[in-house]
Structure 1
Amino acid sequence: MEKQEYTITLYTENSIGLIGRISTIFSRRKINIESLNTSPSEVEGIHRFTILITETEEVLRKLCRQIEKQIDVLKAYYNTNDEVIWQEQALYKVPTDIVTEELYVERLLRQYGASAVVIRKDYTVFETAGHREEIDNLTQELTKYNLIEFVRGARIAIIKNSAGFHAKLKKFEEHEPSEEIIENEFLEKGESVFTM
């Protein structure tokens, strides 16, 4: 099997030390995490991890099963890039005079949908979101114009063919044991429920 990029989505409880336990599972298997994002999910009290790795599907299947054994992990999914809608965010710090004096830089920033976050005399900070290739291309171009600083955020992704975890959680809750107590008729008659 050939290695490819996969996005792992975990739904978890918000527990202290969970990131450490999950990253230990990856390091024991010698799998590099390329990107890791955690955030609240659409369900109150449930957090969502988005992890980017490059691996084979066979390894990924075993990895997700291992992760799901963690007591705080409710569900682990993995998807190829074609199965998710994803973005990465980036911040660029460039000299303000370059932006105001170089028409090409202004056009470049517009082309990549970058918007100013902070404008000062000495520098301007822009933000943009897109796929890694787009962010890399913009970074490469801005390097030619005295790029001062650059930072990329972790991948965020939504699974295309998913009704969301909230729907699955509701379905699960419907099948939970009832709080209503049902008397065992054998016990009422004084018979043993155990058979030899």
Structure 2
Amino acid sequence: MTKEYTLTVFTEHQTGMLSRVVSIFTRRYINIESLTTSKSSMPGIHRFTIVVNTTEDMVRKLCGQLEKQVDVLKAFYDENAEIVYQEIALYKIPTQKFMQGNRLEKLIRQHNAKVLEIEEEYIIVEKTGHADETEALLEALKEIGIFEFVRSGRVAIPRPMERLSKYLQQLELEAEETL
């Protein structure tokens, strides 16, 4: 049975890592629903957050294949209940629609969004939340009029303490024991 999984991949910060990571999914014909990269809490270590819909067996294989890459330190996967996650969406809407009454203002408040910028021709609105929440605001704004829409990839943090730190400490202990 397929379900949504969030993979967190920790790598050394090297050129070409994005291509190498994505190729593992491409070779297996697995569509990436969301991909976000950033530095991690550890200096020199980069973090990939990847969302896929697949089976647990396949996600385990993906993590194994990712960990075989030279500059990949560790790959973890989680179900949605095991992480805290958000996305950010930006909406560009016509200014005259905003000025024509308070329907838009009520909509923005109802969806816990905020206005970032008001210009003569447009207004930029920001909404953070899960994909279904940002999509709901998009659908509501389409009725009023919308110029542009963009949504980020998922950013996620696991509910347990950072596993990479524990994993690296364990490797250090094992290395010391063999000396």
Shorter-chain TM-score: what band? over 0.9
Q: Which has a greater percent of helix?
A: 2
For 1:176 and 1:109, the matched residues in 2 are separated by 55
Alignment of 1:40-119 (within 5 A): 40-119=39-118
Quickly say closer, same or farther: Cα 1:94–1:50, change in 2 above 3 A: same
* Alpha-carbon contact 1:96-1:122 (below 8 Å) kept: yes
Shift of 1:112: 1.9
State the match for 1:191 in structure 2: none
Shift of 1:55: 0.1
CA-to-aligned-CA distance 1:81-126 (integer Å, 9 cap, x gap): 1111111110000011212323121111112222222210110111
Aligned CA RMSD, in angstroms, stands at: 1.6
Quickly say closer, same or farther: Cα 1:163–1:21, change in 2 above 3 A: closer
For 1:78 and 1:8, the matched residues in 2 are separated by 4
Identity %: 43
What are structure 2's unaligned runs of at least 5 residues? none
Give the letter for the 1:56 counterpart. Answer: T
* Alpha-carbon contact 1:42-1:166 (below 8 Å) kept: no
TM-score, with structure 2 as normaliser: 0.93
For 2:172 and 2:11, the matched residues in 1 are separated by 16
CA-to-aligned-CA distance 1:36-65 (integer Å, 9 cap, x gap): 000010111111100000000011111110
For 1:92 and 1:64, the matched residues in 2 are separated by 35
Given the alignment of the two structures, is residue 141 of structure 1 paired with residue 132 of structure 2, yes or no?
A: no
Give the letter for the 2:147 counterpart. Answer: I
Q: Which structure's CA Rg is the greater one?
A: 1
For 1:92 and 1:117, the matched residues in 2 are separated by 10
Give the letter for the 2:60 counterpart. Answer: R
Shift of 1:174: 4.3
Given the alignment of the two structures, is residue 120 of structure 1 paired with residue 131 of structure 2, yes or no?
A: no
CA-to-aligned-CA distance 1:97-156 (integer Å, 9 cap, x gap): 212323121111112222222210110111110011111110000001111100010000
For 2:52 and 2:101, the matched residues in 1 are separated by 38
TM-score, with structure 1 as normaliser: 0.85
CA-to-aligned-CA distance 1:13-49 (integer Å, 9 cap, x gap): 0111111111111111000011100001011111110
Q: Secondary structure at the match of 2:175?
A: coil
State the match for 1:132 in structure 2: 131
Given the alignment of the two structures, is residue 38 of structure 1 paired with residue 14 of structure 2, yes or no?
A: no
Give the letter for the 1:100 counterpart. Answer: M
What are structure 1's unaligned runs of at least 5 residues? 183-196
State the match for 1:151 in structure 2: 150
For 1:176 and 1:101, the matched residues in 2 are separated by 68
